[in-house]
A and B are shown apart, each in its own frame.
Chain A
Amino acid sequence: MTNWSDPTQAVRATAAQMADALEAGDVTSVQLTQAHLDRIGSVDGDVHAFLHIDTEGALATAAAVDADRAAGKDLPTLAGVPIALKDLLVTKGLPTTAGSKILDGWVPPYDATVTRKIREARMPILGKTNLDEFAMGSSTEHSGFGPTHNPWDLTRIPGGSGGGSAASLAAWESPLAIGSDTGGSIRQPASVTGTVGVKPTYGGVSRYGAIALASSLDQLGPCARTVLDTALLHEVIGGHDEMDATSLDEPVPAVVAAAREGALGDLTGVRVGIVKELRGDDSGEGGGYQAGVKQRFQESLDKLQAAGAELVEVSCPNFEYALAAYYLILPAEASSNLAKFDSVRFGLRVETGTIERTMAATRAEGFGDEVKRRIILGTYALSAGHYDKYYGAAQKVRTLIQQDFAAAFEQADVLVSPTTPTTPFKIGERIDDPLAMYLNDVATIPANLAGIPGMSLPSGLAPEDGLPTGFQILAPAHEDARLYRVGAALEAALAAEWGGSLMEQAPELSTNKVEVSK
């Protein structure tokens, strides 16, 4: 039972509980929002999940919701529940940096569609969270504004590129967050922070106003601490958007209903496919996974089986090309998407004589190394004489990966794997070895190439280091609901074993009020 008047308890509730409490009048949105702002003030000096905090805006939204509720008006389900947005989403009137110095200080004149939906859902926006610069990375170490620290162990990475969003959840700074996932940037941070994150089917959530990295791979998605919370948020942000020509023209899948059904714990008749190439055996890409990761994965499989699911092994042999294809398609599309950062209409300008030289000097100063690497790689992949061999070939690999998934989904309703090969590593450990960093994504990338939806939820702490591991579920395109059903069932089974959620086992963060430097 949450004592809502105690802010430290209030922030540890789930979003679903907060929504109920707001509805019941047990707490006001202003109280709730203030509690989270206070929490941010206490811990974000250490965690550094946020790049920008909008105290005034969040409280104004909260107050308006409270007033409308008191007046008996009908409100959307999550009205008054605070949320954090990855700083890749354009927010009118609020700074948006994409984690890059090249956009430091930019205040967009328009809202992303997802931002608009969140405003229409009357959710107070706490602020913008940290990310690897332009979402390029798996550790948030490539942010132009300093890394985010994993609340489970502040010396470790929170995952990336959406480490800020995941950390804000794990540090109880926000109950809900929006992330983006191009190769695992929602799922991998969820895995290493003990939280839940979903990449919807490609086109399931509008990309209008999400600063583009790789247009054919990017998806915005919901992040939370529980499967149900994630589903509630999914239904707010999903749906067709006429401003996004690639958005699906179909209703949002019934993910909340699926989550509630799954929580009842019966998976009879569900075929769960274990992808051989992503199990983390030594023969796989990049070698074997960490032992504790594999152990928790196996235990989670046992739980699914106990819930009535049938386990089958499937093989996706073309996955061996997935990482390579990804690291061609992404840089190629990104190199084109990032050309607009040219000092002319917005962002940094380092004036140097002519416009050509100004552009080159601006981009040299404004972009970090990882971004530069990928732009150059992408330029190479598209350049005359190399297209067929690189970008063209990578697009063919995509087709093969889709075929592998199609075949696998004949035998299974969902596919599963560990989300990441390891638990969170130390900040600085892999920063100088790009290839080693890329291996973080080996299990998550295939879903982006194929456009299918994926979820990561906590599968326990690795025994050897006590750090979070994640369980990945994949479903066919358009079948996002299956993720939630299976995920909720697993979550319930694990919670029964742990006596509560994994997050309840997280270490206390020091709550000295530190000056939060932004």
Chain B
Amino acid sequence: MSYTYETATRDFDPVFGIEVHVELNTKTKMFCGCINEFGSEPNTQVCPVCLGLPGAMPVPNQKAIESAIRLGLSLGCSIRESSRFARKNYFYPDLSKDYQISQYDEPTCYEGELEVVLDDGTAVMIGIERAHIEEDAGKNTHKGGGGGIQGADYSLVDYNRGGVPLVEIVTHPIEGMGERTAEVARAYVATIRDLVKALGISDGRMEQGSVRADVNLSLRAKVAAGEDQSAVPLGKRSETKNVNSLRAIEAAIHHEAGRQADLLSVGKPVVQETRHWQEDTKSTTPGRSKEEAEDYRYFPEPDMLPVQPSREWVEELRGTIPEHPAKMRKRLQADWGFADMEMRDVINADALDLIADTVAAGAKPQAARKWWMGELARIANEREVAVSSLPVTPQDIAELQSLVEAGTLNDKLARQALEGVLAGEGSPKAVAEARGLQIVSDDSALEKAVDEALASQPDVLAKIQDGKLQAAGAIVGAVMKATRGQADAGRVREIILQRAGVSE
């Protein structure tokens, strides 16, 4: 029997971990003054240091250390008082010194936790083991044999990205998520991505590789109800690399769970190994099998001195941490009085900022939500664009809403005004004026229109007097039509009832 993700997580207990690499957006590289920019001509952003020339020496980038500390603080980590860089020694063409400068047993940030909120509002705490600073490698391009490394004839190396600052965030193993494992993993990485963007330390673009994830997964036997699941030893885990999108994270876990369950269910062992995610086949393939694990021979980097951030500086940086996204959302939801489902829809539609800005411009939260999630979402959908790219600002919407509340426009007229704004005719006030959109509230005009309508539908008055108040609707409709929708419908109804000599 071939396991699916659902059956695998039903029959086994999944435990997972994620390593996220965040590329920092500093101006220069981690250990040299070469520019840190994406997409340039090969080997135009290299120097003796990042090229690994004999005699060159690294000097750490102050800004990168600062960014790493801020990230660590956002993750609730402690900041180590003294940490040394370490060399991770291995040979590879894209590693210009044939060692990577990283941190080993003295990561700058350690022991934190991050609250991750799932789509349905469930909050999960993810334990963070460490966040450390290291440098990125260059890029290999494989030639011949279809572009991949298998079957390539030779490779070309560009060191432009070699030496770019990275922060690696490692979680503790996360247990007990069951069938929500993939969902939690995805949400965790999304949260990290949002966090680094909010901190301003990275552009957080997975598709460009500035946030990368390696996913570890293992399965263990599921215990009976009432027994202690955490007493069961962890299974052998696989590490899946090259997972370049949030969707791929979920898909990779789905695949791995099934693959491992298939093995375990027939008594075969899961090999502890590195695997690669293949986007086209939505599966993982094994990495090169090694006779023995690479021995990185870590030792403290002798060319640089310990990083010892003062406690004062750390506290100063703590003051620059923006509010945690999940906390901010909770606070806004409470302030705005949105129901959970309403809030969730807003977040999923990426409309949080739009609504916040509209509220800041003076609109009531529910009104703002109604506009952005209602009419504007509909229009955006029609035009097949994101609602945030419509040519209307939160200030516009606030103004529009204020016109409705002032009684100048009703809902229908407001929508017409909106059309005009979207067409570039100007602000809502300007459009309403130019198009002559205004609720008619002049009683004599309304009375005249009501009388005309009653005259053309004589039996309605009798019906109303008879107690069938809903018959007034036909007159209201007629008056609205006659006034091109610009009558104040409520007032019209009042006048009709007056004429009938009836009260509500």
Do B56 and A342 touch across chains, with their CB atoms under 8 A apart?
no
A402-439 interface (Cβ within 8 A of B)? none
Interface string of B84-128 (1 = CB under 8 A from A): 000101010100111100000000000000000000000000000
Verify if B58 is at the interface (C-beta below 8 Å from A). yes
How many angstroms from the CA of A209 to the CA of B49 in the assembled complex? 10
B184 at the interface (CB under 8 A from A): no
A344-B157, A384-B297 are contacts. A103–B91 as well, Cβ < 8 Å?
no
Q: Does A244 contact B (CB under 8 A)?
A: yes
In B36-88, which residues have CB < 8 Å from any A CB?
A: 48, 51-60, 87
B305 within 8 Å of A by Cβ?
Answer: yes
Report if B295 contacts A (CB, 8 A).
yes
C-alpha spacing A342/B295, complex, angstroms: 18
Asked if B297 and A336 sit within 8 Å, CB to CB, the answer is yes
* Complex interface residues of chain A between 317 and 342 (CB less than 8 A to chain B): 332-333, 335-336, 339-342
Instruction: Please state if A110 and B53 are interface contacts (CB–CB under 8 Å).
Output: yes
Given contacts A90-B55, A212-B55, A340-B96, contact A246 B305 (CB under 8 A): yes
Chain A residues with CB under 8 Å of B89's CB are 335-336, 339, 382
Say yes or no: is A355 at the interface (Cβ < 8 Å to chain B).
yes
What's the least CB distance linking B368 to chain A, in Å?
Answer: 53
- Nearest-neighbor residue (CB-CB) of A332 within chain B: B299
Q: Is A515 part of the contact surface with B, judged by Cβ < 8 Å?
A: no
- A215 at interface, CB cutoff 8 A: yes
Q: Which residues of A contact B155 (CB under 8 A)?
A: 355
Chain B contributes a number of interface residues (CB within 8 A of A) equal to 29
Known A242-B59, A339-B89, A384-B297; contact A216-B52, beta-carbon cutoff 8 A = no
Q: Is the interface of A mostly helix, strand, loop or mixed?
A: loop
- B-side contacts of A336, CB under 8 Å: 87, 89, 99, 297, 299
Is B52 within 8 A of A345, CB to CB? yes
**What does the 1/0 interface line of A235-253 toward B look like (CB < 8 Å)?**
0000000111110000000
* B149-201 at interface with A (beta carbon < 8 Å): 155, 157
Distance from A10 Cβ to chain B, minimum over Cβ atoms (Å)? 33
- Answer whether residue A471 sits at the interface, using C-beta atoms and an 8 A cutoff: no
Q: A108 at the A/B interface (Cβ < 8 Å)?
A: yes
Q: Are A342 and B57 in contact (CB under 8 A)?
A: no
B228 at the binding interface (Cβ < 8 Å): no
Q: Secondary structure of the B side of the interface? A: loop
B303 CB within 8 Å of chain A: yes
Is residue A118 contacting chain B, with contact meaning CB distance below 8 A? Answer: no
Nearest chain-B residue to A208 (Cβ)?
B57
CA–CA, A342 and B91, complex, Å = 8
Among B52, B54, B299, residue most surrounded by chain A Cβ atoms (within 10 Å)? B54
Give bound CA distance, A244 to B49, whole Å: 11
Query: Which residue on chain B has the smallest CB distance to residue A134?
Result: B54
Contact of A383 among B51, B91, B93, B297 (CB under 8 A): B297
Taking CB atoms and an 8 Å cut-off, the chain A residues in 101-131 that contact chain B are 103, 108-110, 112
Chain B nearest CB, measured from A396 CB (Å): 13
Contact between A112 and B299 (Cβ–Cβ < 8 Å)? no
Shortest beta-carbon distance from B182 to chain A in Å: 34
* Residues on A facing B (Cβ under 8 Å): 89-90, 96, 98, 103, 108-110, 112, 207-212, 214-216, 242-246, 332-333, 335-336, 339-342, 344-346, 355-356, 359, 379, 382-384, 387, 391
Ranked nearest first, the 3 interchain pairs of A and B with the lowest CB-CB distance are A339-B98, A215-B302, A382-B297
